Structure 1
Amino acid sequence: MTLPRIPPLGRLAARARRHAGGAMAVEFALLTPILLVLATAATDLALAIRVQICLANAARAGIQYAALRGYDAAGIADAAGSATTLTPAVTVSRYCGCPTRTGIAQHGCGGSCASGLPPGSYAQVVTRFDHRPIFDFPWNQALTSGFLPLTVTLVIRIE
């Protein structure tokens, strides 16, 4: 019994290329729209992340102002608003609270916390921006009315 002769790899590859015909053009035509949608979605995601970073920087500037100069709502809002090229909505508030394991529980400014210590005074800076994606995909309208609301909240103890 004799085994069939296997052609060399170079000739086998050449034969496959001759019989491929327009398969490469069909694959290109099928994959191009998918790749374009993925590229545009990645671009929109990168822009949204950039906006989120700008909002975080603005809130950080407001918190830094409060740490250096104390609570001044107008000054904190101005510092946060001027720290970015965006025009975010900046909300500044002050409240008293007691530290807990999970965060800060709001408490009246008088009296004492469960630990027996007096409540601390905290400044909170909230920056918000409605990011509108460049590419208007159908799911943007269905999920968020065309806008992506981005918010950053930072808190610092000032007293």
Structure 2
Amino acid sequence: MSPTSAPLLIRFKHSQKAAVAVEFALLVPVMGVMLLGLLDYAIVAFHKMELESATRSGAQYAMLDSSDTSLISTTVKNSTNLDTDFLEVDIAEFCECIDGSSITCADTCATGSVRSFMRITATYTHNPIFIPVTMTLTGESIIRTQ
């Protein structure tokens, strides 16, 4: 160490600016990681809303024609900007009586008529950008068809 650099180090050691610089250098990576995690969370929330909206679009189409399940599935897939390679659409019909008891759609109810429903479920496999896990997001809509 040269004799001229010793006073410089002593001044740096007692300087408030140096303390601020060190604190800033320690906090920036922590805040950056937190910000990236928040960004991933926002993307997940947006994709979840997109799935819910897509299943509602499929349910609206099912009100027009509930017999064509392949077109309902296509409507759900076309209603979202998500990658369709990671998107699965499941359509299930189920029936129940007026009292809420489940039956097969071919049966009759003792308490009245049979109510038919359609459940449209969209499942999306999401790979976050900064978090090394795979998440499965699901959106679902149920509509009465009869």
TM-score range normalised by the length of the shorter chain: 0.7 to 0.9
For residues 44-74 of structure 1, what are the alpha-carbon distances to aligned partners after superposition, in whole Å with 9 as ceiling and x for unaligned? 0111111111111211111000012233211
- Give every structure 1 segment of 4 or more consecutive aligned residues whose post-TM-superposition deviation is greater than 3 Å: none
Relative distance call for 1:105 and 1:34 in structure 2 (3 A) is farther
Distance in 1 between the 2:31 and 2:23 partners? 12
Distance in 1 between the 2:49 and 2:35 partners? 21
What aligned pairs does 1:1-159 form with structure 2 within 5 A after superposition?
20-86=16-82, 87=84, 88-98=87-97, 105-109=101-105, 110-112=107-109, 116-135=111-130, 137=131, 140=132, 146-159=133-146
Q: Percent of counterpart pairs with the same letter?
A: 29
Distance in 1 between the 2:22 and 2:98 partners? 63
User: Which amino acid counterpart does residue 94 of structure 1 have in structure 2?
Assistant: E
2:98–2:113: 8 Å Cα contact kept in structure 1? no
1:62–1:77: 8 Å Cα contact kept in structure 2? yes
Please give the root-mean-square deviation of Cα atoms over the aligned residues, in Å: 1.9
Distance in 1 between the 2:109 and 2:68 partners? 25
Q: Secondary structure at the match of 2:138?
A: strand
For residues 8-64 of structure 1, what are the alpha-carbon distances to aligned partners after superposition, in whole Å with 9 as ceiling and x for unaligned? xxxxxxxxxx86241111210121111001100011011111111111121111100
Distance in 1 between the 2:98 and 2:27 partners? 55
Question: TM-score, normalized by length of structure 1?
Answer: 0.73
Q: What residue ranges of structure 1 are gaps of 5+ in the alignment? A: 1-17, 141-145
User: Which amino acid counterpart does residue 150 of structure 1 have in structure 2?
Assistant: L
Q: What residue ranges of structure 2 are gaps of 5+ in the alignment? A: 1-13
2:126–2:134: 8 Å Cα contact kept in structure 1? yes
Question: TM-score, normalized by length of structure 2?
Answer: 0.79
Counting matched residue pairs gives 129
